Chains A and B, each alone.
Chain A
Amino acid sequence: MTYLSMSFAAAFVLIALMLSTWQKLGMGKDIVIGTVRCTVQLLAIGYVLQFVFHSNHFGFIGALLLMMISVASWNASRRGARLKGIYWLIFASLSVTEIVTMGLMILLGLVTPIPQYLIPMSGMIIGASMIVCSLFITQMNQETASSRGEIEALLSLGATRRQAIQDVMKRSIKASMIPTFDTMKTIGLVQLPGMMTGMIIAGASPIEAVRYQILIMLIFSSAAAISAVMISLLSYRLWFTKDSMLRAEQVN
């Protein structure tokens, strides 16, 4: 696909803009910003990837992975703005998830440790884990508010913070992992995932594409579990004050 033929894709944006104007949705600004950012970011990462693939230098690969984890941590930490230090805890969870899953894949010989495999797969793992962390924090915020009585009843019985929040944590971990496993149940029947579609368009055989997709889905399951358990164990203290009272916007 040439840049010229790609520019024809602007027609799709025009359709969106026209509909927005006609229906007075007032989304023109969002559509334009979205289009520009998406194009610029993807083109930029395309050139960066090309450069990294050619150089095949571990320093560059590491830097790219670090950037991915940093941006993902920042994005997920916005859900817990009032939780002090949550950014670094998410950063740690995502890093461990990435190291364990990619490390295992390389050790088992499932992928060759070259940037063409490492970077796109890491991107998918980090992206999926980011959503898990983000869901966990959102769920914990809701659960600690709605189960306040339960947590305080346990604290009043002399429970430690961990004991008092154990059930709430479990429910939040579950809630954050459910979408991953729901996707696994319907994948192929409802949605054809992007990676597989991309490989098929680029000329790979559907069977080859599907094999990689299965691999990545199975990795997602363990990535979801690792990141959810890690972030929960690292972060549950943040919902308490230092003398282990449940934090509140207001009490009474």
Chain B
Amino acid sequence: MTTILQLEGLGKQLHPPDGPWLFRDFSASVAEPLIISILGKSGQGKSTLLRILGRLTAPDCGSMRLQGRDLSQWTPEAWRMTVSYVAQQPVMLPGSVEDNLRAAALLHQRSFDLTQARQWMEQIGLDHLDWNSGAQQLSGGEKQRLALIRTLLLRPAVLLLDEVTSSLDSISKQATERLLVDLHAHSGTTILWVTHDWEEARITSQRIWFMADGRLLEDADSRTFFDSTRTEEARAFLRPSHLLAESLEGAR
């Protein structure tokens, strides 16, 4: 089986060409469909890493391979349809809820999977929404979930989620987590998930990428990371006082 995603020495500089590195030498590979949580303190470049993987930001060094083919062999459009990024700040496209749901179908002239859209909307707790209402009028949490479903309907092989549960109440958050875990189990979608919520990471993920000191400090399966972490940085990160501060920041 070909490796899904292979990252070699990725790096991003703050102010090229002479500025400090946000992170560098980031190498990892994803051989099988997994849910991977990307953890680390604020300012480690987790969101930037996702943007690089989603080809919205150019890295300053390193290379990426997707499904065994080098980045240069992919058109940006085909890449982004396969590895799709969902931003932390949800942006609604102009128009109604339905316009947003139909966006991917319209862009690629595919038929719109109405049944699937309804099912996901229900599962994520948005079945009360009137599809004809303006998407801009939704609350922050509703926008965040709608933006996620909008991307799911594109059916990418790899999902890049940037704190997509940060503005959700606990019930919506659990519903969203369940939907993503189900999706992964049924369709083998790989999910790379930036979160500040270690409990979420522990429940949902099979693997953890821990970023600190401007690099990927730990790449471990979830149980190993939480039960017997190797590095002092990760232990400090997992201390209760720190987790509280981080989750407060995430909730902000």
Contact = CB atoms under 8 A, between A and B. Distances in A.
B80 A251 contact: no
Contacts of B103: 154, 157
A158 B91 contact: no
B210 interface: no
A167 B107 CA distance: 13
B107 A156 contact: no
Interface size class of chain B, counting residues whose CB lies under 8 Å from the partner chain: 20 to 34
B78 A158 contact: yes
A145 to B, nearest CB: 14
Interface stretch (A13-21, A60-68, A135-143, A238-246): A238-246
B19 to A, nearest CB: 11
A58 B241 CA distance: 83
A149 B104 contact: no
5 contacts: A156-B80, A157-B103, A158-B77, A158-B78, A245-B56
B91 A245 contact: no
Given A153-B93, A157-B150, A252 B104 contact: no
A205 interface: no
A163 interface: yes
A155 B56 contact: yes
Contacts of B4: none
Interface string A145-180: 000011011111111100100010000000000000
Contact of A158 (B56, B81, B87, B147): B81
Given A243-B55, A245-B58, A251-B51, A155 B80 contact: yes
Nearest to B57: A251
B77 A160 contact: yes
A153 B150 CA distance: 10
B84 interface: yes
B151 interface: yes
A157 B151 contact: yes
A245 B154 contact: no
A160 B91 CA distance: 18
Given A150-B91, A244-B77, A156 B151 contact: yes
A109 B119 CA distance: 65
Interface of B: 47-48, 51, 54-58, 76-78, 80-81, 84-87, 89, 91, 93-94, 103-104, 107-108, 147, 150-151, 154
A241 B58 contact: yes
B94 A157 contact: no
A157 B48 contact: no
Contacts of B104: 157-158
A132 B87 CA distance: 35
Nearest to B94: A167
A163 B57 contact: no
A243 B56 CA distance: 9
Nearest to B91: A149
Contact of B86 (A155, A156, A158, A246): A156
Nearest to B48: A252
Contact of B76 (A149, A150, A243): A243
A245 B93 contact: no
A158 B57 contact: no
A157 B84 contact: yes
Contacts of B108: 158
Nearest to A157: B104
Which are the 3 A-B pairs with shortest beta-carbon distances? A158-B81, A149-B91, A244-B76
Given A152-B87, A153-B147, A251-B51, A159 B77 contact: yes
